Amino acid sequence: MQNVAGQKRVVIIGAGLGGLSAAISLASEGFRVELIEKNDKVGGKLNVLSKDGFTFDLGPSILTMPEIFDALFTRAGRKRSDYVTFEAVQPHWRNFFEDGTVVDLSPDAQIQKQEFDKLGQHVYGEFIEFMAYAQKLSDETQAGYFEKGIDGVWELLKFYGLKRSLHFDIFSTMDQGVRRFVHDPKLIDILNYFIKYVGASPYDAPALMNLLPAIQYQYGLWYVRGGMYALAQALEKLAIELGVTIHVNTEVERIEHNHHIAKSVKLKNGETISADIVVSNMEVIPAMKSLLQSTESDIKKMRRFKPSCSGIVMHLGVDCVYPQLAHHNFFYSKNSRAHFTSVFKKGDLSEDPTIYLVAPCKTDVNQAPSGCEVIKILPHIPCLNPDKPIRDDEYYAMRERVLIKLERMGLTDLREHIVTEEYWTPNDIQAKYYSNQGSIYGVEANRLVNLGFKAPQRSETLSNLYFVGGSVNPGGGMPMVTLSGQLVCDKILQDLKKREN
Q: For residue 112, how far is the Cα from the chain centroid?
A: 26
The one-digit pLDDT tens for each residue of the chain (501 residues) are 455 677 899 999 999 999 999 999 999 999 999 999 999 999 999 999 999 999 999 999 999 999 999 999 999 999 999 999 999 999 999 999 999 999 999 999 999 999 999 999 999 999 999 999 999 999 998 887 787 777 777 788 888 887 787 778 889 999 999 999 999 999 999 999 999 999 999 999 999 999 999 999 999 999 999 999 999 999 999 999 999 999 999 999 999 999 999 999 999 999 999 999 999 999 999 999 999 989 888 899 898 999 999 999 999 999 999 999 999 999 999 999 999 999 999 999 999 999 999 999 999 999 999 999 999 999 999 999 999 999 999 999 999 999 999 999 999 999 999 999 999 999 999 999 999 999 999 999 999 999 888 999 999 999 999 999 999 999 899 999 999 999 999 999 999 998 887
Q: Which amino acid is at 63?
A: L
R_g of the chain, CA atoms, integer Å: 22
Residues near 49 by beta carbon (within 8 Å), at least 6 away in sequence: 55, 56, 58, 315, 422
- Judge whether 436 and 285 are in contact, CB under 8 Å: yes
Instruction: Give 430-453 pLDDT, tens digit per residue.
Output: 999 999 999 999 999 999 999 888
Give yes or no for a contact between 304 and 452, defined as CB atoms under 8 angstroms apart. Answer: no
pTM for the predicted model, two decimal places: 0.95
Name 304's Cβ contacts closer than 8 Å, sequence gap at least 6.
449, 450
- CB-CB contact of 174 with 210 (8 Å): yes
Amino acid residing at 81: S
Please report the pLDDT score of residue 4 as a whole number: 63
Are the C-beta atoms of 479 and 65 separated by less than 8 Å?
yes
**Distance between CA atoms of 124 and 116, rounded to whole angstroms?**
6
Q: What does the DSSP assignment read for 304-334?
A: TS-B--EE-EEEEEESS--TT--SEEEE--S
Alpha helices (runs of H) in 142-255, residue ranges in sequence order: 153-165, 174-179, 185-192, 211-219, 229-241
> What's the pLDDT at 162?
77
CA separation for the pair 321, 232 (Å, rounded) = 28
Amino acid 499: pLDDT: 85
Read off the pLDDT of residues 462-492 as tens digits, 9 standing for 90 and up: 999 999 999 999 989 999 999 999 999 999 9
Instruction: Give the chain's largest Cα–Cα span.
Output: 69
Strand, coil or helix: 114: helix
Distance between alpha carbon 221 and the CA centroid of its chain, in Å? 14
pLDDT number for residue 164: 81
Bridge partners for 272 per DSSP: 266
pLDDT at 144: 77
297-314 pLDDT per residue, tens: 889 989 899 999 999 999
Determine the distance from the C-alpha atom of residue 7 to the mean position of all C-alpha atoms in its chain, rounded to a whole number.
33
Say what the pLDDT of residue 158 is. Answer: 83
Q: What angle do CA 236, 241, 244 make, to 5 degrees?
A: 70
